[in-house]
Amino acid sequence: MVITAIALGIFSMLLAMGIMNGMNNQMVENTIKTSLGHVAIHYDGFHNDMKLKYSFRPKPGIMKAVKDNQYVKHFTKRVKFEAMIRSSEASQGVMIMGIEPENEKKVSSIYQYTLKKEGSSFLESPDSDEILISATMADKLDLLVGDRLVVMFQDMNKELVGNAFTVKGLFETPISSFDKYVVYTGINTLQKMAGIGNKISEISIITGNKEEVDKAAGQMRNELSGKKLEILTWKDMAPSLVRSVALFDTMMYVFFAIIFITVIFSIANTLIMAIMERFHEIGVMKSIGTRPSWIGGMVMFEAVNLGLVGLAAGIVMAILVISLLGATGIDLGFYAESMRMWGTGTVIYPSLKTMDFVVSALIVFANTIIAAIYPAVKAARIKPLDALHYV
Amino acid sequence: MAIIQTSQLYKDYATNGVTVKALRGIDLTIDRGEFSALAGPSGSGKTTLLNIIGGLDHPTNGQVTVNDILLNDQSAKELARIRLNRIGFIFQAYNLIPVLTALENVEYILLLQGVEKEERYSRSSEILKEVGLGNELNRRPQELSGGQQQRVAVARAIVSQPDIVLADEPTANLDQETGAMLLDMMHDLNREKGITFLFSTHDQMVMERAERLLHLVDGQVSDDEWKTKKKTQKKTK
């Protein structure tokens, strides 16, 4: 019973941890891959006020600092600002992004998210005067691939400019808020419309992995210091995402607390039952001279042994199940809208880090000790005479 | 030289609001090396007296001294230490630890005393051979007869070389022949090792073999009879 309770406790804990890790990772990865990148270089002030006036020229010195950075894997230039799009049915405010299609494929996943059916396809060139919109937006504006829409915005001279674009393709990302707000066209087309020459809004960068982000950003900050640029990591650009991850972590700890309060009572209850079964035996042991502390220690020792076996069983179960689910994923398609709101995608791939095992093992071990204290004290206080008369 | 002394020992039990007076002012002195028995009808206070002398129970009033140690003042931990080192117990129902073998049951006492493994084994196996169980070392209690189990209990009681062995109705669950054999063995241990034995009993055979017979009636010593030449006195209340 104790072993089962501990094994199920640690299994539940690790599974929950794995799922939460998977959701957090996917939420972060999806946000990075959809729009943010790992690091972005902007003109100073752009992040807080995404206006055309904060465009900057990608001078050779800047591009060299990016290209020569050992941690930079891929990068792309973008122009982005707020605009209005209008179909024959409706209009809405959007963030329009001018992109270099070939480089964008390497930096973001928008190419993968572009639907490859019913004529929908990705942009082909920076000069493209076609537009990519989300399937959600197409529904709202009642547009199909090949339909025309009008993009309007204020150019550098605060003149209202507009142009008609053909819908080249539709995309669907795991983040519903992104789909409701962002559209793509060729970077050169947008630069011409906005009258900003070859100026850009940002250079979006992907590093080898998330652990290299701070090193890459730090190195570029050093090399580009003195220039009026802001070099931001994904954490700087998405503080709400960081807070969401922290919120998930907090929820996880609350969940663990609930699991382990249950486990503590289960272990304590089972140990007390085990003591009652051996009540007479403990009485005999005490009557022939066993010290109370020895009896208490014996119960603790037993609990620790049971804890270790339960721990091992729980970890093995968790590794097997999480390895399987990590490969197949957990399809939460029936919660698709909620999952897209969180930006996690509908299939969660649980994952665990070594530290997760260490933390959960320590927590379970501590819980086992705590759970054993009361039964141990109770056993130590058994009166030998009462126990000898108990059969 | 007194090894056990009780002075005005009283024990009351409250059961369902009714107070039962189990002991009513017992004054008793047992000298080192005695082979004595407490006799009397059920409810006369024999087991209660034995339990108090063994530190398993506390008196309501009065004092009990074992080997010059006043038990009244001792903590549970200290009483456990006294039981471990000074007193051996033999129970009517044997009370061996069922998951341990005969050898392990005897070794357990030495383990508590911190005796090294090899010495534990040699002393325990030797004492089990002395009580005639040299071939049953690795049998668990349920694999032994009642007489064999009680002999393991005797071995467990004496392996630590205690000053006193307290035996509560040790022959009650044994047949006549086994009981006689066990009593002979305990008497030999009394004579050879100088261990003091104090029994509580109903058994006529135990009463006959005891060198001193203390009769208890209603929680009081009604008769103190010496049957050997050690002391020739007879105290009748």
- What pLDDT score was predicted for residue B237? 41
Give the strands of the sheet with B35-39, arranged side by side. Answer: B87-90, B164-168, B196-201, B35-39, B212-217, B220-226, B234-236
Whether A35 is covered by a domain: the verdict is no
A277 lies within 8 A of chain B by CB:
no
3-state secondary structure (DSSP) of residue A146: coil
The dihedrals phi and psi of B168, each to the nearest 5 degrees, come to -95, 105
Q: Domain check: are A19 and A51 in the same one?
A: no
Q: What is the number of domains present in chain A? A: 2
pLDDT at A261: 82
Q: Which of A227, A249, A280 finishes a domain? A: A227
C-beta separation of A71 from A217 below 8 A: no
Same domain? A307 vs A267: yes
On whether residue A39 sits in a domain, the answer given is: no
Tell me the C-alpha distance between B85 and B109, whole Å: 9
Q: How confident is the model at residue A337 (pLDDT cuts 50, 70, 90)?
A: low
The reply to whether A332 and A279 lie within a common domain is yes
Long-range contacts of A71-74 (CB under 8 A, 24+ apart): A71/A207, A71/A208, A71/A212, A71/A213, A71/A215, A71/A216, A71/A219, A72/A39, A72/A205, A72/A206, A72/A207, A72/A216, A73/A206, A73/A207, A73/A208, A74/A103, A74/A106, A74/A107, A74/A205, A74/A206
Average pLDDT over residues A291-318: 90
**Quick check: A254 pLDDT over 90?**
no
> For residue B11, what are the CA distances in angstroms to A9, A151, A383, A384, B231?
50, 102, 17, 17, 29
Residues A80 and A217 placed together within one structural domain of the fold: yes
Mean pLDDT of A295-321: 90
Q: What is the mean pLDDT of residues A265-280?
A: 86
Q: Domains (ranges, CATH) in chain B?
A: 2-236 (3.40.50.300)
Residue A343 is assigned to a structural domain of this protein: yes
Mean pLDDT of A241-249: 84
Nearest to B165 by CA among B35, B43, B78: B35
Residues 6+ apart with CB under 8 A from A387: A279, A280, A282, A283, A284, A286, A287
Helix (H) or strand (E) holding B12: strand B2-15
pLDDT at A321: 94
What residues of B are in contact with residue A284 (Cβ under 8 Å)? 95-97
- Count CB neighbours of A246 within 10 A: 11
Task: Express as a percent the part of chain A with pLDDT over 70.
Answer: 97
- Same domain flag for A104 and A172: yes
Is A234 domain-assigned? no
Residues from chain A contacting residue B99 (CB–CB below 8 Å):
281
Q: Are residues A186 and A311 in the same domain?
A: no
Find the largest Cα–Cα distance for chain B. 53
- DSSP letters, A236-299, are HH-HHHHHHHHHHHHHHHHHHHHHHHHHHHHHHHHHHHHHHHTHHHHHHHHHTT--HHHHHHHH
pLDDT, tens digit, 9 for 90 and up, residues A194-224: 999 999 999 999 998 888 999 999 999 999 9
Q: Which residue of A has its CA nearest to B78?
A: A291
In a domain, A80, yes or no: yes
What is the residue type of A115?
L
Q: Taking 50 as the threshold, does the pLDDT of residue A61 lie above it? A: yes
> In this structure, are A376 and A340 located in the same domain?
yes
Q: In this structure, are residues B198 and B4 in contact, taking their beta carbons and an 8 Å threshold? A: yes
Chain A interface, best mutation among B91, B97, B168, by max A CB count within 10 A: B97
Name the token pair of A117. 């059916």
Asked whether residue A325 falls in the same domain as residue A298, the answer is: yes
Identify whether residues A206 and A281 lie together within a single domain.
no
**Are residue A248 and residue A347 in the same domain, yes or no?**
yes
Among chain A residues, the shortest Cα distance to B112 is held by: A290
- Domain boundary residue, one of A160, A195, A227: A227
Whether residues A216 and A250 fall in one domain? no
Residue B84: list chain A partners with CB under 8 A: 288-291
Regions of chain B where pLDDT drops below 50: 232-237
Q: How far is CA B115 from CA B89, B110, B133, in A?
A: 20, 5, 22
**Residue-number span of the structural domain to which A209 is assigned:** 45-227
Residue reference for tokens 């059961």 = B15
Distances (CA, A) of B188 to B183, B184, B209: 8, 6, 12
Measure B111 CA to nearest chain A CA, in Å. 10
Which of residues 39 through 78 in chain A touch B, CB cutoff 8 A? none
Q: Averaged over A18-47, what is the pLDDT? A: 88
- Residues A383-387 have a mean pLDDT of 88
- Contact (Cβ atoms closer than 8 angstroms) between residue B154 and residue B94: no
pLDDT of residue A340: 67
Q: Name chain B contacts of A291, Cβ cutoff 8 Å.
A: 77, 80-81, 84, 112
Residues A289 and B89: their CA atoms lie apart, in Å, by 10
Note the residue count of chain A.
391
Whole-number pLDDT of residue B235: 45
Q: Which pLDDT score is estimated for A16?
A: 85
Instruction: Count residue pairs from A and B with Cβ separation < 8 A.
Output: 50
Query: Which among B77, B83, B99 has the least Cβ separation from residue A288?
Result: B83
pLDDT of residue B236: 41
Q: What is the mean pLDDT of residues A234-245?
A: 87
Question: What stretches of chain A show up as alpha helix (H) in DSSP?
Answer: 2-31, 60-67, 101-107, 110-113, 135-141, 176-179, 187-194, 213-223, 234-237, 239-277, 279-287, 292-328, 336-342, 354-380, 384-389
Q: What is the mean pLDDT of chain A?
A: 88
Q: Are A281 and B84 an interchain contact pair (Cβ–Cβ within 8 Å)?
A: no
The domain boundary, picked from A183, A203, A227, lies at: A227
Strand B18-31 to strand B2-15: parallel, antiparallel, or no bridges (unpaired)?
A: antiparallel
Whether residue A214 sits in one domain with residue A72: yes
* Calpha distance A270→A9 (Å, rounded): 14
User: Quick one: pLDDT at residue B230?
Assistant: 54
- Against a cut of 0.90, is the pTM above it? no
Q: What is the mean pLDDT of residues A336-344?
A: 67
